[in-house]
A and B are shown apart, each in its own frame.
Chain A
């Protein structure tokens, strides 16, 4: 190991060496704090920028109008309806599948090469760029299966994208449950599935919920994979209503409808040269930003509560 101080031309006394070390220690603490403050300032200026540019544009008309060639008349009705419906599909697919996969890996999987392969694969999938999921959907769902550029395809694509997030969250939540709970259940004569469904799942629920919220907030803001499947950007109509007044009162025709979502609408407006459309983009972005920040805040709060109840 090197001597504590770099060799200066003049010999330093021990006291000087110690004082210097303490000075750099303090300076580093200040440096660390400044980096932190700077990154907070960036986040804050981003939020403020969106508020300044977009807040004045948000009103009831903006939420209830279709996109238009005239910036001042355009709105995000089709975009937020599309986002809601796509998220419905994504959540309905990703949460059950992710939780099931997480439970399997944590509670059932034998230690063999298949399990190892699945684990490495989940880790790798989490690192695959989102636009690659878009290419998968374009090549497989849109072209090979001829499903078209529909809400269903977008929902499936985003579900695959957030699957690793939910799997990892489920595994962490399940892993943190003390062994005694399982042993208690077995001692009462419960079998594996009774233990998992009656004890493990309820105990892990807050952790799983956290993962689901983080995954959904990621999916709401995702733009690239949906552009890649070729979703149109000018949609001036709504998908067919899922509710009808004749039996059986609900239908799934909306799944096969073309659509747009909020991030796409925002990208479309920010890519135009006219400043008036940038205002619309900022207003859409502000709503999107508030939604994702809120979801993340809920997730953080949930995690905090879990940690406190574990103690």
Chain B
């Protein structure tokens, strides 16, 4: 029995190995045809055109702009909510509220995509005249709402791991709840809260359906969030929808793009993992 259980646990390592193997082997075929320098420095991405360019930075820029917008929404809102839940709300209130936040996390991403394209974008266009029908701003904001529950739960976790004695000491010195939060709890939970932000970033970078539906498919350097641009993930979707022959250069590009995405999220996840370990060991 023990062996069966071990094999099930070891399967997860095989999955990772499989991911790395697939991404690496197909990417190597890609880099046999395209130099890694032009991959990293070219400013155009046109794999299915006659004049082919493979500048991944084009897609990376779309990914980063939309993810940073998501963080601009989720970090302030998430931090305020986490402090509120951990330091201000009474336990009954907290236990009633948290399930509702979990419901946000349970909404299918394709539904958020519809919401961004057909509900929020028309509303935003009333207030922002230059906003295109497909843009990076609204999907960014919607992704911010999507990662909000996650940022709240991870950072609240870190805040509540701060020992009660520290809070009680602060209260005994006459601190208000807000002063306790900003001067005792947040410094104490700093690495955990940072980990929450990084994990949020990692989620936003890997999010697919919202940008695939609402951000447009045009691969260009995304300097203006009011216009649409392709991201790494929406490009992979775009190519997968078309009928791309196996082994063609367009087919290989989605693995090279996927490898880039995997490395980005992997770096974020490892950094966050390390930061969370750190605060756990501290107390």
Contact = CB atoms under 8 A, between A and B. Distances in A.
A39 B208 contact: no
B258 to A, nearest CB: 4
Contacts of A221: 107-111
Interface string B164-179: 0000000000101111
B19 to A, nearest CB: 5
Contacts of A135: 19, 22-23, 236, 254-255, 258
Contacts, number: 266
Contact of A224 (B4, B23, B237): B237
B16 A125 contact: yes
Q: What's the interface size class on A, roughly?
A: 35 or more
A43 interface: yes
A80 B205 CA distance: 30
B32 to A, nearest CB: 16
A35 B84 contact: yes
B118 A278 contact: yes
B209 interface: yes
Interface in A75-108: 96-98, 100-101, 103-105, 108
Interface stretch (B124-132, B221-229, B262-270): B262-270
A230 B240 CA distance: 6
Contact of A271 (B11, B145, B207, B213): B213
Contact of B104 (A35, A43, A297): A43
Contacts of A4: 179
A100 B8 contact: yes
Interface in B1-45: 1-2, 4-6, 8-13, 15-16, 18-19, 21-23, 25-26
A13 interface: no
B199 A167 contact: no
A267 B209 contact: yes
A64 interface: no
A12 interface: no
A136 B233 contact: no
A127 B111 contact: no
Given A32-B83, A101-B5, A292 B101 contact: no
A97 B181 CA distance: 42
B106 A293 contact: yes
A104 B97 CA distance: 34
Interface string A114-127: 00011011111101
A277 B239 CA distance: 22
A6 interface: no
A14 B254 CA distance: 64
Nearest to A142: B246
Interface stretch (A44-52, A178-186, A236-244, A249-257): A44-52
Interface in B38-88: 77, 80-81, 83-85, 88
A105 to B, nearest CB: 6
B237 A227 contact: yes
A245 B9 CA distance: 40
B81 A32 contact: yes
B69 to A, nearest CB: 15
Nearest to A25: B176
Nearest to A275: B118
Given A33-B84, A125-B12, A136 B22 contact: yes
Interface string A278-297: 10011001001100110111
B163 interface: no
Contacts of B145: 39, 42
6 contacts: A25-B179, A109-B6, A129-B206, A132-B265, A136-B19, A270-B110
